[in-house]
Amino acid sequence: MKKRIALIAIALTACSAASPAPKGWTAIPGSADAWSRGSGPAREEYSFRRKIFPGTLQDLASAVAIDSLLHNPGGKLHSSDPFAPCPGAAGVATLSLPGGSALKEGFAVHDGVAVRTSYTLPAGAQPDADVISAMQNVLC
């Protein structure tokens, strides 16, 4: 019986989807899809969301650029590029925000559903590899 339970547990683990959370990050209280690391000016935050979207990746890229600037007054769009782990299937817009932060907005469209990620980090900081991996899990 114990062997059977162990085999079932191994099978379920092998079939489970990758976690959307960056490895080692802390869940933000009150939010099911947002995590943080650090504090003060070194604080980083990551989140993702999905919603119905009937458009193309190019349509979503335009919407992300506009939404990001409207929701972050004083922000400046620096680039909107293919997301390297899955070029052609996802993109990432990079903005500088007032107060010394950077924002990387990831986006993809899969079967009529828009997937968006949001990653804020200190300006000039290198993106956390665990966040890039989490973005890849939900965008690609």
Q: What is the pLDDT of residue 70?
A: 94
| Rounded Cα–Cα distance for residues 140 and 36 (Å) | 22
Instruction: For domain 2-139, give its CATH number from 2.40.160, 2.30.30, 2.60.120, 2.60.40.
Output: 2.60.120
Rounded to an integer, the average pLDDT of 79-108 is 94
Q: What is the pLDDT of residue 87?
A: 87
This prediction has a pTM of 0.83
**Domain chopping of the chain, boundaries:** 2-139
17 pLDDT above the threshold of 70: no
Rounded to an integer, the average pLDDT of 42-57 is 95
Q: Count Cβ atoms below 10 Å from residue 112 Cβ, excluding itself.
A: 9
Confidence of residue 18 (pLDDT cuts 50, 70, 90): low
Number of H helices, E strands in the chain: 3, 7
